[in-house]
Amino acid sequence: RIYGDGTQTRDLLYVEDCVDFIIRAGKNDLALGQIINAGTGNDVAINDLALLIAGTPELIKHVPHIHPQAEIMKLKCNSSKAKKILGWEPRFSLERGIEKTKEWIGNNPEL
């Protein structure tokens, strides 16, 4: 299910990249008091994300957005400060992250 029309975009970070970022930021004194963004610098429309995950448009359903006035239509990260201060860059593309997530789910059928 997609709330709204699905044209809103997000910059999605794979969990391993997120954990790496948090650990680096937590161990680096230069990060204290700083606002540092973590992201890929690439945004994807929710419609495209759903198609990547589902594999077919027949499995995707649009439903009315419960709070359309609160929707952020475009979210794209600039993580240049993370690279400069922490030496951090994401290692996984959106596609590879989805692939790894599907593998993990397949290896954990009890979920």
Is residue 106 pLDDT above 90, yes or no?
A: yes
Give the pair of three-digit tokens for residue 52. Answer: 């990547």
Amino acid, single-letter form, for residue 107: N
Task: Please write the tens of the pLDDT for every residue from 27-66.
Answer: 999 999 999 999 999 999 999 999 999 999 999 999 999 8
Q: Can you give the pLDDT at residue 6?
A: 96
| Six-digit token string for 2 | 């997609």
Q: How far is CA 97 from the centre of its chain?
A: 9
Inform me whether the pLDDT recorded for 68 exceeds 90: no
Beta bridge partners of 2: 62
Helical (H) or strand (E) element with 49: helix 46-54
Task: Please state, in angstroms and as integers, the Cα–Cα distance from residue 110 to each residue in 55, 87, 100, 105, 106, following that order.
Answer: 23, 37, 17, 9, 9
Enter the tokens of residue 55.
């594999």
Q: At what angle do helices 15-27 and 94-106 cross, to 10 degrees?
A: 110
